[in-house]
Amino acid sequence: MKRTIRPLHKRDLDALLSIERASFSLPWTREMMAAEFEKSYAFFTGLFQEGRLAGFCLSWVLFDEGHIADFAVHPDFRRQGAGGVLLDAVLEKMRQRGALTVWLEVRVSNHPARALYRSRGFIEAGQRKNYYTDTGEDALVMQLTLEKGRKNDIIQHAKEE
């Protein structure tokens, strides 16, 4: 199975939004997503499989902090390792841009995502009460420390497999 990672551009917005809507009960709007392409600190990364956009990540790097703002894999490609491949690529790109720490929020009930993040070394750092406005569900805040100047061991291990 051939997988390709590449930056996403505005021309990818329709495919990106299709995955967003299939993945979340409270999806980002077209306007919100389009605005992210204009931010100097924001970047989208896409994973393509079988010629289709299988997943994407919206990331921010400001100074030495990274934030995973949005991460989704199309339902057709879940449970096949696509999320791990995409996350590894994003973490490496964030490290290259100078991130020493990466943060994200994830629904408390999203056990598959939490397991993916833990598998890459993220730890639970806190909780945001009533974070998700559609259900009032709490978000777990997860954090990963990257080492400056070298690849994260987890990332390197995944690339060697």
Instruction: Examine the residue annotation and report whether 41 is marked as an active-site residue of this protein.
Output: no
Alpha-carbon distances, residue 30 vs 39, 41, 70 (angstroms)? 15, 19, 14
Whether 132 sits among the annotated catalytic residues: the reply is: no
* Active-site annotation holder among 65, 105, 124, 137: 105
Active-site choice (20, 36, 92, 117)? 117
- Is residue 105 within 8 A of residue 150, CB to CB? The reply is no
> Cβ distance 2 to 49 under 8 Å?
yes
Cβ(40)–Cβ(61) below 8 Å = no
Place of tokens 């999203």: 110
Residues in CB range of 131: below 8 A, 6 or more apart: 105, 137, 138, 139
Active-site residues, by number, are 105, 117
